[in-house]
Amino acid sequence: MKKYLLIGLFILIGTNIVVLSGVAFNRMGTATSHLMLTERELTLPYNTGAQKENSGISLAINWRTPTGADERYYPYSSKDIKITKDELFILGFEQVEAKDNYWIESKEIFWALEFNGALHKAEIEKAIVRYQSALAIFQEKPNDTNSRKKTEYKESLVKEKTTNSRLIFVEASAHYESLAAKFSEQQNILIVKGLAKPYYNRHDKVYSLKLRQLSVQNIMIPLEYAQVLSTLKRLDRRDSTLPRYAVDILWGSRLEPWVVGVKRLTD
């Protein structure tokens, strides 16, 4: 029995050493990205307000895909991007035929995300156009249907300006170096790893890439900063309240984040 306990203990110690070594390696050298994200991009868990002050808080990273350049504004992110078969091969996907859709495994690749830049400004402009169009239609024909659309589109515009995430997908690559070189002059670009899976639509005969999830989906707030957020409750998705906190984050050599500061934006 003692033999097995010792083996288990050695395994536990070895695992902890590997984890801590990985953390240390990630934080060595120059950070690959440095951003100050807010509640718009970092979502509180459902039980935040009930947590004790000595408990850590894990914030979910809230990112999105942009509305297509030739598409009307749509407030909900599909997490799908249009792509060609050749581009899928470049990303490392070798089997992308229609019959293999459900058998293809997700692949970890590199994603470039833009924070509070041109893509988000474009979303605001499209939301404005959609609302103004609905307003003009309502003024011409003031019925219940047009009134409802006018109100809905106005609310969407307000949320786009105040609460929707400004962390937006830009590009995927099989290689970190290509993204790092391409966006080296942009301080608001975050390069991370994420899982993606290709699909082929037989009816439309087009390929797409499903951006399934970030490899690191949550950011743990250290205990020294957790008290700043401990009294806050998660907002309802329909709420248009301005962000209540900001989190200062660095990403290291393994493209994994760690928090170096948290502050309240409202009292």
Q: Please identify which residue in the block is written with the tokens 């409750």.
A: 233
Dihedral of CA atoms 124, 159, 197, 218 in degrees, nearest 10, equals 120
**Of the listed ranges 28-32, 76-80, 143-147, 206-210, the one predicted with least confidence:** 28-32
Per-residue pLDDT averaged across 188-213, rounded? 92
Query: In angstroms, what CA-CA distances link 134 with 123, 130, 189?
Result: 17, 6, 34
Tell me what pLDDT residue 232 has. 92
Q: For residue 114, count CB atoms less than 10 angstroms from its CB and return exposed for 0-12, middle for 13-18, buried for 19 or more.
A: buried
Per-residue pLDDT averaged across 161-166, rounded? 96
Per-residue pLDDT averaged across 105-131, rounded? 96
Q: Decide if pLDDT at 14 tops 70.
A: no
Per-residue pLDDT averaged across 198-208, rounded? 85
Tell me what pLDDT residue 16 has. 42
The answer to pTM > 0.75 is yes
Tell me what pLDDT residue 175 has. 97
Q: Decide if pLDDT at 13 tops 60.
A: no
Mean pLDDT of the chain: 86
Per-residue pLDDT averaged across 16-25, rounded? 47
Tell me what pLDDT residue 230 has. 87
Residue spans per domain, the chain: 28-264
- Top-confidence residue, 6 or 226: 226
Tell me what pLDDT residue 11 has. 45
Q: Decide if pLDDT at 6 tops 50.
A: no
- Top-confidence residue, 199 or 153: 153
pLDDT band at residue 8 using 50, 70 and 90 as cut-offs: very low
pLDDT in tens, 25-52: 567 678 999 999 999 999 999 876 545 5
Per-residue pLDDT averaged across 158-166, rounded? 96
pLDDT in tens, 247-267: 999 999 999 999 999 999 976
Tell me what pLDDT residue 242 has. 93
Half-sphere exposure for 218 (CA within 13 Å, toward CB): 10
pLDDT in tens, 60-99: 999 999 998 778 888 888 899 999 989 999 999 887 665 5
Dihedral of CA atoms 96, 100, 106, 109 in degrees, nearest 10, equals -10
Q: Decide if pLDDT at 222 tops 80.
A: yes
Q: Decide if pLDDT at 165 tops 90.
A: yes
